[in-house]
Structure 1
Amino acid sequence: MTLEPIDPETALELYLDQKETEVSVATLRSHRSRLGHFVRWCDDRELTNLNELTGRKIHEYRLWRRNEGELSKVSLKTQMDTLRVFVRWLGTIDAVDPDLHVKVQSPNLRPGDNVREVMLDSEDAEAALDYLERYEYASLPHVTMALLWHTMMRMGAAHALDIGDYSPEDQCVSVVHRPDEGTPIKNGTRGERLVGLSGELCLLLDDWLRDRRPDVTDDYGREPLLATSQGRASKSAIRTYSYRYTQPCAYGDECPHGREPDDCEATRSDHVSKCPSSISPHAIRRGSITHHLTSDVPETAVSDRANVSTKVIEKHYDQRTKKEKMEQRRQYLKNI
């Protein structure tokens, strides 16, 4: 067969144009991000025509991506699986050999490899929130971290909240799917729910709304609960707060990695994720779910509150050991 020359950048844009009508915005963004590394690799090696792509070059890319990105086995598999889809598509437009995609190899995962164990420990969560309450009370980082920890909420759900979704009288927030206004939530309308709040968290929200929240609206005229002077707080801002305030040095603990905060690049706002101890909003959610389970909150209640099935909780979120689960069960059996 005759191949038609095409450069990596053009191929990626054509691929994303086709995918735009087939996948969600979030998935499209993920594909762009993952394949962007491949395009960068091609550029570094002056591979300007994908007709020249071979199984050996793909293997070289895999090794480069693993080492350059310091990726876990799970993350590397995700990236290579996306590349395989892309290479298969390239075969349909005569850019590469139609069978080349079978040479894109991904790591083999053992049972348990796809279960993430990183989470925010309850003691660290309390330390971070105590610091914020003392030194940055009712600030946007304080409100954001408190919401994420106490509600087990996904980052997207917190990002989607409006002032009108908060009811101080009923002490709850309403999580609503609004895809046409820039705030879709996980599971769509099935993810909509009322989430009860403690009196302490309501007091924090009241103080935030009364004294510190900027008087702004977003691009759709809505009043976001989590707001900056520019409008709705972005997901990247929420992620940055998570990384920043889960660094031990941020809440007064010594650095467990032997670093000096004044010299550590991870204390810079644009490098906070580089701290080995900092964690993502999803890890806060995982820690919160585990904390609630350890505190004897029934799995069904955690499932409804966090909008996640009990099966998924058991596989991906519950970090209790078998012994911890046994001891909790023992408490229920003492009086039988």
Structure 2
Amino acid sequence: MSELQSMNPEEAVEMYIETRKGDTADATVQKHRYRLQKFLEWCGEADVDDTTQLNGRNLHKFRLWRKEDGELAKVSLRSQLSSIRTFIRFCENVDAVEQDLHKKIELPDVSPEESSRDTVLEPERAEKIQTFLQRFRYATREHALFELLWRTGVRIGTARSLDLEDFEEEEERLRIRHRAESGTPLKNAERAERYIAISTDLTAILSDWIAQNRPEVTDDHGREPLFASSRGRCSKSTLRRTVYRVSQPCYYGDSCPHDREPSDCAAEGYAGGQKCPSSVDPHTIRRGAITHFLSEDVPEKVVSDRMNVSGKVLERHYDKRSEERKTEQRRQFLSNV
């Protein structure tokens, strides 16, 4: 066993942040920095000036300290503790804390109702899924669907509604249409109809999905669905199962955060993906995509039009940026005024 090396908490946090830069989206790095500032604040109050002082007992005290914030939702507490857990794992790797200390950080259980309202797919995790799919599942339905949902933020019903003719490859865009009479209504009916510009990369993925792997089928109305199985147009439940599966950490190569063995896990495979505590539903991807767009300084009106959501609903239900993040973004725009 390696001998522990003394390190100041501030130094450890800066080393961790520098390590994440370049490998992780800037917005994600910033979120980790915000969350770890709370940890450093607690270290100051608790007189923890050396990482070797950290143990299961005082990390539990930090958890209680954060829990005392009555305005902190349980799902937010879970996210913050998850970030601390990842940081502690990094400290283990540089011999700054005892091995396996991260396992002593208990994450609060979050009900599906609490989770569905507040959680987002973080850019860091989306990048991991994208990297895996690009390398090992290129141009499959899983790959095409996930990339479409993350890069456009559309609802799962919108993705299901797309036909081959709605994919305008040369113009690099998608045409969204309300076609209730033939089985693919949109949530906001005709008001949801629009064009969505897509990137060259996404255009290539969709094109290769169509050319290489998409079954040549029509649906019950004679239309050619973009997302198809051998039976025709994919159902919403099929597309949801796909999302649950590709968002499981064990699927894209991460270790199981729940210390389960895949061979004994009830959530293994497409049928059980929804049972995984770490899998996400399509709407969580939508919230994550919208928050990511906003964090990258895309104007709210552009996001509102692209994602087909009103400004009021956008602010109330989809914008999950922290108040600190919003403040810093406003500062950038106003610094020269």
SS at 1:217 equivalent: coil
CA contact (8 A) 1:119 1:284 kept: yes
Question: Any unmatched runs of 5+ in structure 1?
Answer: 1-112
Q: What is the aligned partner in structure 2 of residue 120 from structure 1?
A: 121
CA contact (8 A) 2:139 2:206 kept: yes
Q: What is the aligned partner in structure 1 of residue 255 from structure 2?
A: 254
Q: Which amino acid aligns with 1:148?
A: L
Q: What is the aligned partner in structure 2 of residue 292 from structure 1?
A: 293
Q: Which amino acid aligns with 1:218?
A: D
For residues 147-226 of structure 1, the aligned pairs below 5 Å read 147-226=148-227
Q: What is the aligned partner in structure 2 of residue 10 from structure 1?
A: none
SS at 1:250 equivalent: coil
SS at 2:139 equivalent: coil
CA contact (8 A) 2:242 2:270 kept: no
Following the alignment from structure 1 to structure 2, what is the Cα–Cα distance between the partners of residues 324 and 281?
25
Question: Any unmatched runs of 5+ in structure 2?
Answer: 1-113
Q: What is the aligned partner in structure 1 of residue 334 from structure 2?
A: 333
RMSD of the alignment, in Å?
1.5
Q: What is the aligned partner in structure 2 of residue 142 from structure 1?
A: 143
Following the alignment from structure 1 to structure 2, what is the Cα–Cα distance between the partners of residues 215 and 310?
40
- 2:283 matches 1:274: no
CA contact (8 A) 1:246 1:277 kept: yes
SS at 1:265 equivalent: coil
Following the alignment from structure 2 to structure 1, what is the Cα–Cα distance between the partners of residues 300 and 202?
22
Q: Which amino acid aligns with 1:228?
A: S
CA contact (8 A) 1:115 1:315 kept: no
Q: How many residues align?
A: 225
Q: Which amino acid aligns with 1:316?
A: H
Change (3 A) 1:214 1:308: same
1:262-290 deviation line (CA, Å, top 9, x unaligned)? 21110132221111111110111000000
1:294-327 deviation line (CA, Å, top 9, x unaligned)? 0100000000000001110111011100000001
- 2:294 matches 1:301: no
Following the alignment from structure 1 to structure 2, what is the Cα–Cα distance between the partners of residues 174 and 152?
14
CA contact (8 A) 1:115 1:316 kept: no
How much does 1:115 deviate? 8.0
How much does 1:250 deviate? 0.9
Q: Which amino acid aligns with 2:228?
A: A
Following the alignment from structure 1 to structure 2, what is the Cα–Cα distance between the partners of residues 215 and 260?
38
Following the alignment from structure 2 to structure 1, what is the Cα–Cα distance between the partners of residues 225 and 190?
19
Q: Percent identity?
A: 50
Q: What is the aligned partner in structure 2 of residue 237 from structure 1?
A: 238
1:4-26 deviation line (CA, Å, top 9, x unaligned)? xxxxxxxxxxxxxxxxxxxxxxx
How much does 1:114 deviate? 11
List structure 1 runs of 4+ shifted beyond 2 angstroms. none
For residues 66-81 of structure 1, the aligned pairs below 5 Å read none
How much does 1:257 deviate? 1.0
CA contact (8 A) 2:291 2:318 kept: yes
Change (3 A) 1:198 1:292: same
CA contact (8 A) 1:293 1:318 kept: yes
Q: Which amino acid aligns with 2:293?
A: H
Following the alignment from structure 1 to structure 2, what is the Cα–Cα distance between the partners of residues 170 and 188?
24
How much does 1:159 deviate? 0.2
How much does 1:212 deviate? 1.3
1:211-242 deviation line (CA, Å, top 9, x unaligned)? 11111111111000111111111111110111
Q: Which amino acid aligns with 2:165?
A: G
Return the TM-score normalized by structure 2: 0.65
Q: What is the aligned partner in structure 1 of residue 323 from structure 2?
A: 322
Q: Which has the larger radius of gyration?
A: 1
Q: Which amino acid aligns with 1:307?
A: N
How much does 1:260 deviate? 1.3
Following the alignment from structure 2 to structure 1, what is the Cα–Cα distance between the partners of residues 290 and 233?
26
Following the alignment from structure 1 to structure 2, what is the Cα–Cα distance between the partners of residues 264 and 146?
27
CA contact (8 A) 1:155 1:238 kept: yes
Q: Which amino acid aligns with 2:198?
A: L
Following the alignment from structure 2 to structure 1, what is the Cα–Cα distance between the partners of residues 232 and 167?
18
